[in-house]
Amino acid sequence: MKPAARALVVDADRVLVDLLHEWLGTLGVEVIHEDVARSGGAGNYDIAIVDVPFPRQDGALRIASIMKEHPSTPILAVSAAFFSCVASGGAVARELGVACVLPKPLTREALLGAVRRLLQR
């Protein structure tokens, strides 16, 4: 069965990748980790999920690189540096140039809700 959507996951640790496989699998979303994408799995993605440890430093550069490689792909940035009160589509998202931001630790509901909204665009 073909997946409903493809998600490129960038700069995430193994635990987060495994969690995204589990949670996004319930939506029929195939998760492709950055290493797989670089080894020939590259292509079109419906969403990119980027773990950004330092949004104001190298994280912004990484996001810009992903945007250049996949200009029509909405980006969801996740980070422990985001405060829990940060609006998902607010000023921080606009400053980074992404469609949505979520603070870590992620909740299943927040992640799935954000992914659904971005996939419906």
39 DSSP 8-state letter: I
| Average pLDDT value for residue range 54-79 | 82
Q: What is the CATH number of the domain that holds 55?
A: 3.40.50.2300
- CA 53, CA 62: separation in Å to the nearest integer? 11
Intra-chain end-to-end CA distance of the chain, in Å: 23
Query: Angle, to 10 degrees, between the axis of helix 14-25 and the axis of helix 108-119?
Result: 70
Domain that holds residue 17: 5-119
Q: Is the pLDDT of residue 9 over 70?
A: yes
- Overall number of domains in the chain: 1
pLDDT one-digit tens code per residue, 102-117: 988 889 999 999 999 9
Residue 58 has pLDDT above 90, yes or no: no
pTM of the model: 0.84
Residue 81 structure tokens: 């540096």
pLDDT, mean over the chain: 81
